Structure formats: structure tokens, C-alpha cells
């Protein structure tokens, strides 16, 4: 359930407004629980808790591993160093609405529930829109975005955009890596991009245990048809041999309509995502500083003001949790 903090000013005890507070608060809590269950943002972004104005996410570059030393030999020494890091600064989000004395006098009970509900709807819808804007702008190769007048950084801990064709290693002899490709989705492209992710290396060049389990797509009929054709049948119907489809049953599919507005002309984007790697190594992070606070007070002009306050930010740390296909300007798998 959503963590909502309700605050009442003493004026709410006013006999005109006080009788509506408890029912409205109970209604808002119930609505918040439903919204939390239906949201997509927390299926893509790992939620973290912050107790400062921002948090630094870092890692260690893997050591060289065990080495042969011979009998009674001195143990080999492996150097360790801090890997690339990312700092996410929390952002304040607010909104407000009011219920007038006239609404109470005229017995507009529907409006008494509708107004606070719309406020809460706006909060949860706003989180979804912001999360989709973050991933959608990254999908378009942007290193930053301006959202509702504020600038947000979209780079990962290596200093480059989430989807990039030359993510650098930590050492000069470590090859660059790409996680952006032009191929449209079908069973062959899905297998190739899955394999590409399984071969992703850490900054020192060591192969990681990346194993994508989720496909994220906009709500596009052609992309949906291609994705479900690739993953939902245990055979390949278009093949005369009706061969076994090894992709069957391996994938969770997230259709996110809010991504639609970020699909560039000529692109048919489909994203592979490793939810377990994301949870363990901070791929996409949703950083919560202050839980949703809802305050209600009656002002001198007999207006019941409701306002909400929260602090959070979304961003990217380790790009290896993601790879994308269907970007026309990228190279082929």
C-alpha cells in the first residue's frame, strides 16, 4: 500500500468541513492502494529509499581472479578500484486543490470526493508520465530531458546515454559495447539480442550474468503482434517444419502506452530488460526521499485546501540492464 502521510490543520475541526475529512481520507487510501497495484513505473525502475538530498551509486571493478602460485607460494594480489558512479539528486513535486464553503452549502457531495480523488489521480498519473518520459527520452538517445520545465539528467554511470553504441570499458584494452540496434523484432532478432546481453561484460571485461527476462514495448499493434508471435507459441507456424520455438514461455511482456509519444518516425522500438540484474546492480533507479504527504486545512476564507508533497527522482545507473532494437539509425545485430 502507498505510504501516505495525512496532516490536518486545527481548522479542519470546523463543523462545516470536519465531517467530510475521515471519509475522504479513507477513500484516498483505498484509491492509492489500487493505483500502486496497477502502476508500471515500479516494474521497470528499482525503488530505493534516500535519507539525504541525493545518493551516489557506485561499484567495484572486478579483480583478476585466482592465479597459480605453486607450493608455499605467496598469494597473488589482485587490485580493486571503484567503478564508475552516478549521483541522483532528489526532486520536490507538489500539487493542490480546494473545496469551497459554497460546495458544502450546496451539498455537492460528489464534488467533495471527486476533487481530492482527482488530486491523487494526478499524483500517480504524474509518476507514470514522468517514468515513461525518462525511459522514452532515453529510447530516443537523449542524455537529458526537459520535463514540465525542469531539466533531468539521463546519462548512466559511464557518462553516456542509456542506449549507446560504444559504452566504454574501465581499461584501455577493454572493448566498447553496444546496446542499441536497428533490427525489428522477430524470433531471430530476439534470440540475437538476448545473446548479446548475455555476453555483456563489466568495466574490466569480465562476462556478467545478464539474463533478460522482460520485453518492454509501446502500445503499437504491429510491434505487439511481432512480439507475441515470437514468444507466445511453442512452435513457429510460419515454418513448414513447425520447429520448436525455444523462446516460448521465457518472457514477461510490458506494454506501456505512455511510451507511444516517444516513438520516433521510422523506429519500431522493443526493449529487452533484465529485472533481476536491475534489482541487484541498479540499472534504472526510482529514488524516494519523502513519501506522499497530503495536507488539509481550512483557510480564513472558508476554503478547504488540500495539497500534496513528495520528493523523488528517477535515473539510470548501469546500462547493462537494458538493450533496444528497432532503432532505424543504429547498426544491425
Mean pLDDT for the chain overall: 84
Lowest mean pLDDT among 77-81, 198-202, 205-209, 260-264: 77-81
Query: What is the mean pLDDT of the segment spanning 200-225?
Result: 93
pLDDT in tens, 154-171: 999 999 999 999 999 877
Q: Which domain holds residue 290?
A: 5-59+84-325
Task: Tell me if 70 is assigned to some domain.
Answer: no
Within 10 A of 169 (CB to CB), how many other CB atoms are there?
Answer: 17
Helix (H, G, I), strand (E, B) or coil at 278: helix
Q: CA dist 166 to 60, 138, 245, Å?
A: 21, 15, 32
Predicted TM-score (pTM) of this structure: 0.84
**Does residue 67 lie within any of the structural domains?**
no
Query: Where is pLDDT greater, at 48 or 78?
Result: 48
Q: Give the C-alpha separation, 171 to 204, whole Å.
A: 7
Q: Is residue 71 part of a domain?
A: no
Name the pairing type of β-strands 284-298 and 5-8.
parallel
DSSP annotation of 244: B
The verdict on residue 78 lying in a domain is no
CA 288 – CA 54 distance, rounded (Å): 10
Count of structural domains within the chain: 1
Q: CA dist 148 to 151, 197, 307, Å?
A: 8, 34, 19
330 is a domain residue: no
Distance, in Å, from the CA atom of 293 to the CA atom of 121, rounded to the nearest integer, reads 14
Position 64 in a domain: no
pLDDT band at 26 (very low <50, low <70, confident <90, very high): low
In a domain, 74, yes or no: no
**Does residue 246 register a pLDDT over 70?**
no
- Please indicate, yes or no, if residue 77 is contained in any of the structural domains: no
Q: Domain containing 243 — which CATH number?
A: 3.90.1690
Amino acid at each position: 500500500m502507498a505510504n501516505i502521510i495525512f496532516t490536518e490543520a486545527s481548522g479542519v475541526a470546523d463543523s462545516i468541513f470536519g465531517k467530510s475529512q475521515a471519509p475522504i481520507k479513507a477513500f484516498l487510501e483505498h484509491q492509492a492502494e489500487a493505483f500502486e497495484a496497477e502502476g508500471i513505473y515500479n516494474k521497470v525502475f528499482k525503488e530505493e529509499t534516500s535519507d539525504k538530498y541525493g545518493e551516489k551509486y557506485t561499484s567495484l571493478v572486478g579483480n583478476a581472479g585466482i592465479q597459480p602460485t605453486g607450493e608455499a607460494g605467496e598469494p597473488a594480489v589482485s587490485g580493486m578500484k571503484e567503478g564508475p558512479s552516478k549521483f541522483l539528486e532528489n526532486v520536490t513535486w507538489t500539487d493542490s486543490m480546494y473545496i469551497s464553503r459554497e460546495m458544502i452549502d450546496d451539498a455537492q457531495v460528489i464534488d467533495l470526493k471527486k476533487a481530492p480523488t482527482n488530486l491523487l489521480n494526478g499524483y500517480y498519473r504524474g509518476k507514470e508520465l514522468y517514468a515513461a518520459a525518462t525511459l522514452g527520452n532515453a529510447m530516443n538517445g537523449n542524455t537529458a530531458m526537459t520535463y514540465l520545465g525542469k531539466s533531468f539528467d539521463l546519462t548512466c554511470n559511464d557518462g553516456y546515454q542509456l542506449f549507446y553504441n560504444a559504452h566504454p570499458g574501465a581499461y584501455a584494452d577493454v572493448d566498447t559495447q553496444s546496446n542499441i540496434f536497428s533490427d525489428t523484432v522477430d524470433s531471430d532478432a530476439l534470440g540475437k539480442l538476448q545473446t548479446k546481453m548475455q555476453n555483456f561484460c563489466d568495466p574490466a571485461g569480465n562476462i556478467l550474468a545478464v539474463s533478460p527476462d522482460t520485453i518492454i514495448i509501446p502500445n503499437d499493434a504491429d510491434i505487439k503482434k511481432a512480439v507475441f508471435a515470437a514468444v507466445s507459441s511453442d512452435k513457429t507456424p510460419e515454418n513448414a517444419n513447425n520447429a520448436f520455438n525455444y523462446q516460448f514461455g521465457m518472457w514477461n511482456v510490458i506494454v506501456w502506452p505512455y511510451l507511444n509519444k516517444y516513438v520516433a518516425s521510422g523506429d519500431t522500438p522493443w526493449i529487452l530488460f533484465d529485472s533481476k540484474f536491475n534489482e541487484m546492480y541498479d540499472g534504472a533507479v526510482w529514488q524516494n526521499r519523502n513519501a506522499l504527504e497530503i495536507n488539509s486545512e481550512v483557510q480564513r476564507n472558508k476554503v478547504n485546501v488540500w495539497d500534496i508533497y513528495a520528493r523523488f527522482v528517477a535515473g539510470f545507473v548501469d546500462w547493462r540492464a537494458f538493450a533496444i532494437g528497432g532503432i532505424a539509425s543504429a547498426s544491425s545485430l
